[in-house]
Amino acid sequence: MTELFRLDGRGAVVSGSTRGLGRAFALAEAGADIVIVGRDPVAAANVAAEVEALGGRALVTLGDVTERPDVERVLRSEVENFGGVDILVNNEGTCIHKPALGVTDEQWREAFAVNVDGVWLCSQVMGGHRVARGCGVIVNVGSMSAQIVNRPQWQPADNASKAAVHHLTRSLAAERAPPGVLVNALAPGHMRTEMSPVDEPGNRRFWIEDAPQQRVGEPYELGPAIVFLASDASSFMTGSVLTVDGGYTVF
């Protein structure tokens, strides 16, 4: 059974992989070759070194996933170096911690550009490559915020954009199942990353004490879930949202 979780010989594009959750995703440990996509060359080089230390091949392709020419360049680079894109992990994301009346037009558009448009462009450009090949996997990183209203901070732009990611996942899954492409989403809960102020005292009451496990998650704890969704272990699963939140959304 463990062989079903192996990704040997498969190429994976991971957007937003220079920091946070993307940096911790464990596809390289399962044998995949990784295309590191981000905008920070130093951080990307560090992640590439980590992948190679695990015995995998790493390819750095800098770019902005909200720009179609950049996404097309990522695809060309992956095909030229690894022969094809087997796995796409759409992990780019941003969060605006502001109540509705405090969100500017620019911030609203930024939330949707990064959280939704980036997923759309990558899924369209690289997803088309998968449809042509008749196989492949897309994993969109959403959030438990797609189904709850977070406290104590208000973040309507983030919540709405992540809900869009989840429903886009279902829509793409329905279209792409016949040609053999699986599309699922991962919905993390509160995780300890640079973007998430998990240690602020005002958040503890709601982020930690309200959670059944009484803690936040660590990025490495999402790695096995990503491997599952990217591997043959999830071959009869598409259009699903896998929630990994320490039980936060059960209440």
Q: What is the pLDDT of residues 153-170, one digit of tens each?
A: 999 999 999 999 999 999
Rounded Cα–Cα distance for residues 166 and 156 (Å): 15
**Which pLDDT score, from 0 to 100, does residue 129 have?**
83
Rounded Cα–Cα distance for residues 126 and 67 (Å): 13
Residue 157 is which amino acid? A
- Which residues lie below 8 Å from residue 104, measured CB to CB, with a gap of 6+? none
Confidence of residue 25 (pLDDT cuts 50, 70, 90): confident
DSSP string, 170-224: HHHHHHHTTTTEEEEEEEE-SB-STT--TT-HHHHHHHTTTSTTSSPBPGGGGHH
Look at residue 24 and tell me whether its pLDDT is greater than 80.
Answer: no
**Which pLDDT score, from 0 to 100, does residue 189 have?**
96
**Which pLDDT score, from 0 to 100, does residue 240 have?**
98
Average pLDDT over residues 29-52: 93
Instruction: Decide if 91 contacts 35 (C-beta within 8 A).
Output: no
Look at residue 190 and tell me whether its pLDDT is greater than 80.
Answer: yes
Burial of 101 by CB count in 10 Å (0-12 exposed, 13-18 middle, 19+ buried)?
Answer: exposed
* CA angle, 236 then 138 then 141, to 5°: 110
Average pLDDT over residues 52-60: 91
Residue 248 is which amino acid? Y
Confidence of residue 134 (pLDDT cuts 50, 70, 90): confident
Global confidence as pTM: 0.95
pLDDT tens digits for range 67-85: 999 999 999 998 999 888 8
Q: At what angle do helices 156-176 and 105-112 cross, to 10 degrees?
A: 30
pLDDT tens digits for range 204-245: 999 999 999 999 999 999 999 999 999 999 999 999 999 999
CATH tag, 2-245: 3.40.50.720
Token pair 């449809």 in the structure block, residue: 131
CA within 13 Å, CB half, 116: 19
| 53-57, 59-63, 142-146, 224-228: the lowest-pLDDT one | 53-57
Sheet holding 241-244, edge to edge: 58-62, 33-38, 11-15, 87-90, 136-141, 181-188, 241-244
**Which pLDDT score, from 0 to 100, does residue 215 have?**
95
